[in-house]
Amino acid sequence: MTRPTVIPVALALGGNLGTVLETFARAIDGLRRAGLQHPTASSWYRNPAVGCAPGTPDFINGIVTGDWPGTVSELHHCCKQLEVAAGRPAEHASYVSRTLDLDIILFGDALIATPELQIPHRETLKRLFVLVPLAELAGDWPFPGRCATVGQLLQPWQDTAEYRQFVTGKITGPTTATPSSAAAPASGYGDSADHSD
């Protein structure tokens, strides 16, 4: 019997409502139960929300990598189910607070462009809150559509004030366990770019 193909994947998590790290822990557990193998979480970072209304709570963001045994459509459906389970409406506005944002950033070496999905995620290389934790876990992964690895694509940022400011927001280190043992700040925290998704 042929074993199913397993694809290395990277997913971005973000949120700024509720006990965010506990929400992330439940989401990672949900991904594991849905079939994600060897899930590994990056450091979690906090930064002010940009592009949202004044007074919007800060966000927490990070990356989870693992091996997915199904299709990209199945993983996308799982992510949307987990967002709804965390309390995010299936239909939602952009640039607003959320309990959980769960996006597929990389799906092996796939280049996908459909009305529902763009992989690699279209804003990956513009968003330090994605690129920095992604490089922690997948710095040597080739970035689809570019003749460079994730780590190489981060390098131009590393001498910038924006990068230096962003990394001061690290609140936990990477772990192969879910982050449920980490105490979440009351408000949640996150990225230095927009929260349009």
Residue 112 parent element (H or E): strand 112-113
Please tell me which residue in 46, 88, 127, 191 is annotated as part of the active site. Answer: 88
Please tell me which residue in 29, 46, 101, 164 is annotated as part of the active site. Answer: 101
Cβ of 173: how many Cβ atoms within 10 Å? 11
Q: Give me 164's structure tokens.
A: 């230096």
Please tell me which residue in 98, 109, 146, 159 is annotated as part of the active site. Answer: 98
Give the separation between CA 117 and CA 133, rounded to whole angstroms: 21
Q: Give me 11's structure tokens.
A: 């997913």
CB 46 within 8 A of CB 185: yes
Task: Clarify whether 3 is annotated catalytic.
Answer: no
Please tell me which residue in 3, 33, 103, 140 is annotated as part of the active site. Answer: 103
Give the separation between CA 51 and CA 5, rounded to whole angstroms: 39
User: What's the first-to-final CA gap in the chain, in angstroms?
Assistant: 40
Task: Clarify whether 58 is annotated catalytic.
Answer: no
Task: Clarify whether 98 is annotated catalytic.
Answer: yes
Which residues belong to the active site? 88, 98, 101, 103
